[in-house]
Structure 1
């Protein structure tokens, strides 16, 4: 079985091409709307740690209903990839493999890069920091304590990282740091692609995921 996690601001419908590909490979897929996105409720996102708790509950539900037979893999894009890494680190027993496509390594610098990229007017650094501290207070934890870079050493499953060579939001250098900190990791670099051009190139990513699955001999799930 495969659990599919979308990028920030995207819903599970964007993952349908991956589900179709995985079905051809013999996988049953569960497409997840993370809290605050798609059809899910909630006003807040937690940049990985909060969502990992929901993923644990989902996994338990699937096992209780005998929906999982054999191995369980997580495939996440961008923000969804960070959630997958946190989930694999915090709840390692059920997972056998993670495919993390363009994940971020540290939360606060990533928020700053997103703000610079997508907000028309520049946000003063002091104001941005105040907003981050308010978000931490609302969620009840410091982002720095749950950066993926600090979490990935706990992962037991195999992790395959995929990143664009020209990614400015989740830079190749940061993903390489994740790879070095992950006990069992492999890195796939797509040349000449940035963040959006990678995660929106469904045809390319489907071919990448297909080749990764073909690298392993596994029972249909």
Structure 2
């Protein structure tokens, strides 16, 4: 029984899949409030989680200062988004329009600061990170143009997040299915496990006493 370990990670994955898909659907139904809140929370987490690693790894004081200014700016931006949602102002046209500008500023600032540190302060970087920040610059510029043209960015993001949520949820369901199958195999093995039969103890025969053979007396003959 000690060898059969039951793992319940599949159950956690299925619960997370249900939450993820439900969140994606709710985000599309209540796209303004949920998209605003999700974006704000994501920006705050992304900003605050970078503080300690950046301070410890960046060697140049100027680079640290630039990145800390960006983090403070992003944290304030995310806080404003969260405040707008919980104050019930997310549906107002002013805040809907401002959302596009804030998101464009977030991506553009991230890309710009990266290339400033890369070019002027000679910060080394890997290739994937380089192309990612080019995408950030492009995305920031595109969002700015779409906002100026008064396109519905929030609704588009709602569809994108719904697609990602459903896709991620289905992946978790599939991954959890594999874990559940292993769980059932472990349960089956436990039920089929046979108890070892006890071998009866063989009693050793006690040594039998050897019978004493009487000594033959020599008969004396008289001639």
**TM interval, short-chain normalised:** under 0.3
What's the TM-score, normalizing by structure 2?
0.26
Larger C-alpha radius of gyration, 1 or 2?
2
What's the TM-score, normalizing by structure 1?
0.26
> Which has the larger share of strand?
1
